[in-house]
Structure 1
Amino acid sequence: MDRTELGAFLRSRRGRIRPEDAGLVAGGRRQTPGLRRDEVALLAGISVDYYIRLEQGRGPHPSAQVLRALGRALRVNEDEQEYLFRLVEGSRVASSREVPPNVLRLLERLGDLGDVPAMVVNGCFDVLAWNRMLVALIGDPAETPVERRNTLRWLFGGELAGTELARQCVADLRASGLYSDDAGVRRLVDELSASSPRFAEVWSAREVEVRHTITKRSVHPVVGELELDCEILPVHGRDQRIILYTAEPGTASHRALKLLGESLPI
């Protein structure tokens, strides 16, 4: 159980809710925005002392019932509620850099289709495997040293740091709950927090958002503008996900992907 992060997360969510949003009368002058601790305790049906101890990182192990009650009181969304459970229960998947053979076969088959770039990343966005269509789309990850082969390092090491994609990736990293359990994730967060003010800003906001499907727009040096849908599929039992890039059939982006596929050596 990560008591420190649990307390910080509760404080961050308490601070974003106006009393009137929770059906309370604001009344009186408030030193800080958001709900007071006693108001959260009232809404969650727990004692004020218990809630204060949770925020201060010295509370007991909260039950699932208490976590759900806190989620309702703080008006968290589904991803944030799941994050609360992960902070208390720990990550539910094993960290591994070894990609299962069946996933590697799937990548190869998708590459043979000629229009589906795909790769596998782990919980801290290390790029573990990819197909030849991905090479055609973004270049060959093998040309980057293994220790630098990381999507977050690429995003926050250049002009993409301020993009919505970068923000979503950080929110997704936090949602995984791996920061509390995985030394590699903690090292990555410390490194990027020190090297990128933008990363530090987004990380400290404690946004939680699991990525499923996003739209990515870019300009390819050969085929020009691309608008691709990124489907993110979990690998069962591991902290790994398959990321597929597809375009709607009949669009310019789909034709561009086909052109890239046709340019690949047989």
Structure 2
Amino acid sequence: MDRAELAGFLRSRRERITPADVGLPAGRRRRTPGLRREEVAQLAFISNEYYTRLEQAKAPRPSREVLAGLARALRLSDAERDYLHHLAGAPPGPPPGPSREVRPSILALLDRLPMAAAVVLSATYEVLAWNPLAAALMEDFSALSRRDRNLLRRAFLEPRPQGARLYGLSDGEEFAESAVPQLRAVAARYPDDPELTALIAELREGSAHFARLWDAREVSARPNLCKTFQHPVVGPIAVVCDVLDITDRDQRVVIYTADPGSPSEEALRLLSVVGTQRLDVPG
């Protein structure tokens, strides 16, 4: 265990995070950059005294549970999480939950698809990244909290008027039914992830439909290749849905494209100009 380097690493990661990043009030009398030690301890579910001793290079070796709590509290990337474990003398095992870190090359790929709507989904259907056309076609994800960017919560828990569809999708119900078997497979891959366990419990409690699908124990469904969005500004848009698996991150890039020369391609072209702004349609 490298106590001195562990102390310096924890301090550097703590100082880069603002209270707003983790939903804490900034307060008026904040003298140190980033989070306070007691705030990190609170977020990691450990004592303030023990965390202080870690930063002073005086604490005994932290357990894997403590390291997992620190990684969550400090919002460490996968590489940083592994480094933390090595510093503590506890080489990391498999990640406890699905990765939320999107590779820069994948983010660059989204920007290179100006006439395709594309999103990156985590294994638990959280929208991790998106390009401007996806925001125009589906929703401005930047205006949503991380919690509200989970497509399963939107599909099963968000109240919608009678007959309303998820993002206007003609097959929103089919999406829901195909996603649940995939989530069950994800739960088997990450049995120790508390966030995933909490998501499943929330969905079971809040949606009788989800509970029925979950209890069916299906594990082999995949989404349809063709979808139709009913957009409030440009009308119906028929798209082909291609899914690229990022196996090392357990993520998917979902790409929506329209047939060349079709009215749907023209609608996407208009959306690429309009973006997420709302148009006033003359009465």
Aligned to 1:70: none
Indicate the structure with greater helix content: 1
Aligned to 1:108: 111
Per-residue CA shift, 1:218-255, capped at 9, x if unaligned?
A: 21011101222221111130121111111121222122
Change (3 A) 1:212 1:221: closer
User: Amino acid of the residue matched to residue 151 of structure 1?
Assistant: L
Unaligned runs of 5+ in 1: 1-90
Query: 2:223 & 2:173 partners in 1: Cα distance?
Result: 18
Change (3 A) 1:252 1:150: same
CA contact (8 A) 1:171 1:210 kept: yes
Query: 2:248 & 2:98 partners in 1: Cα distance?
Result: 9
Unaligned runs of 5+ in 2: 1-93, 167-171, 277-283
CA deviation after TM superposition for structure 1 residue 94, in Å: 6.8
SS in 2 for 1:145: coil
Change (3 A) 1:164 1:205: same
Of 254, 267, 276, the match for 1:243: 254
Aligned to 2:182: 172
SS in 1 for 2:242: strand
Query: 1:211 & 1:128 partners in 2: Cα distance?
Result: 20
Superposition pairs for residues 1-266 of structure 1, below 5 Å? 95-110=98-113, 113=114, 115-156=115-156, 157-159=158-160, 160=165, 163-176=173-186, 177-178=188-189, 180-211=191-222, 214-264=225-275
SS in 1 for 2:191: helix
CA contact (8 A) 2:96 2:193 kept: no
Change (3 A) 1:101 1:93: farther
Q: Percent identity?
A: 40
Moved over 4 A (4+): 91-94, 159-162
The two structures, once aligned, show a CA RMSD in angstroms of: 2.4
CA contact (8 A) 1:118 1:130 kept: yes
User: Amino acid of the residue matched to residue 104 of structure 1?
Assistant: L
User: Amino acid of the residue matched to residue 242 of structure 2?
Assistant: E
TM-score by length of 1: 0.59
CA contact (8 A) 2:96 2:192 kept: no
TM-score by length of 2: 0.56
CA deviation after TM superposition for structure 1 residue 209, in Å: 2.3
Query: 2:274 & 2:197 partners in 1: Cα distance?
Result: 40
CA contact (8 A) 2:153 2:203 kept: yes
Query: 2:216 & 2:190 partners in 1: Cα distance?
Result: 15
